[in-house]
Amino acid sequence: MATLQTKSAARMMMAPAVIALLIWMIVPLSLTLYFSTLNYNLFNPAETPFIGLMNYKFFLSDPAFLTALRNTLALVAGVLVITVGGGILLALLLDQEFYGVTIVRLLVIAPFFVMPTVAALVWKNMMMNPVYGVIGQFLNWVGIGAIDWFSNAPLTAIIIIVAWQWLPFATLILLTALQSLSEEQKEAAEMDGAGALSIFWYITLPHMARAITVVILIQTIFLLSIFAEIYVTTSGGPGLQTTNIPYLVYSQALLQFDVGGASAGGVVAVVLANIVAFFLVRLIGKNLDA
């Protein structure tokens, strides 16, 4: 509610941000769509004939695409399982009262602020290196024997690194949700004869359900475009074992200079992300009304 003057002022104030984002979204996206219909290679930029949906056909029927799709989904699923499961446990732990809980909370959230390239390189070299890495030495010490992560289980290694980076995010959000649960509700349940486990199952977990959904959706959006961790550790290899869709698009564009094919891949990535985004936007929109 306001006057015409404030309303038109409001429109003026919103315009710069809206226009900036509109340009940012529409111009490159329509160019990507356009390029995806061309036979456009940076080695031969003079000739870019229109070839319809051929790029899509090539991209989607390329065995590399299926591998990349599988890797992308495995990466997302693996990280989600670890971060949501671990996040719930960590949130429950940090919700307890103990000496130094604030400091422990800072320690737990720290990985989120570590830049992806640092996280990836530190893990690759100092944690997971089979000879000098701390994990390898620990495994040797307990008698299992060191694992050469990046040769034998490269995707798992990347899942671990990314999960470590996102664990704080899940923890922090779930902890926030947990702390908004009123003590009275738990006490009422206790008066009704519920034990600790029943309280967790019937009161705490449903209370966190929304936060868990938010964590899953937002992380999925970000995890679908994991790039830097792969770029600095495996470059998608060995073979295609750690190539996900963003990395595939990147290598097609900037390593093989196939603009058309990469653009088609980009469009596929956008479509994939939109499926998730659709649900996320609806969830947040519902929350706006409340």
Nearer to other proteins, 121 or 203 (CB): 121
Q: Tell me how far, at minimum, the Cβ of 201 lies from other proteins, in Å.
A: 21
Q: Least CB distance from residue 215 to other proteins, whole Å?
A: 8
Least Å distance between CB 52 and other proteins? 18
CB of 271 to other proteins, least distance (A): 9
Distance CA 247, CA 68 (A): 8
How many CB atoms lie under 10 A from the CB of residue 6? 11
* Of residues 78 and 265, the one with the C-beta less far from other proteins: 265
From residue 165, alpha-carbon distances to 221, 230, 244, 288 in Å are 15, 14, 18, 29
Closest CA to 169 of 288, 79, 97: 79
- Looking at the Cβ atoms of 155 and 253, the one nearer to other proteins is 253
Task: Look up residue 4 and give its two tokens.
Answer: 């015409």
Q: Which is nearer to other proteins, 20 or 188 (CB)?
A: 20
Please state, in angstroms and rounded to a whole number, the distance separating the CA atoms of residues 55 and 93.
51
Q: Residue 179, exposed/middle/buried by CB under 10 A (0-12, 13-18, 19+)? A: exposed
Angle at 284 between CA 282 and CA 286, to 5 degrees: 70
Alpha helices for 133-227 (secondary structure H): 134-142, 149-152, 154-179, 183-191, 196-199, 205-223
**Distance of closest approach, residue 4 Cβ to other proteins, in angstroms:** 5
Q: Minimum distance between the CB of residue 88 and other proteins, rounded to whole angstroms?
A: 13
Q: Which is nearer to other proteins, 124 or 199 (CB)?
A: 124
Structure tokens at 36: 């995806």
Return the number of the residue (120 or 155) whose C-beta is nearest other proteins.
120
Cα separation, 119 vs 164, in Å, equals 9
Nearer to other proteins, 17 or 61 (CB): 17
Least Å from the CB of residue 17 to other proteins: 4
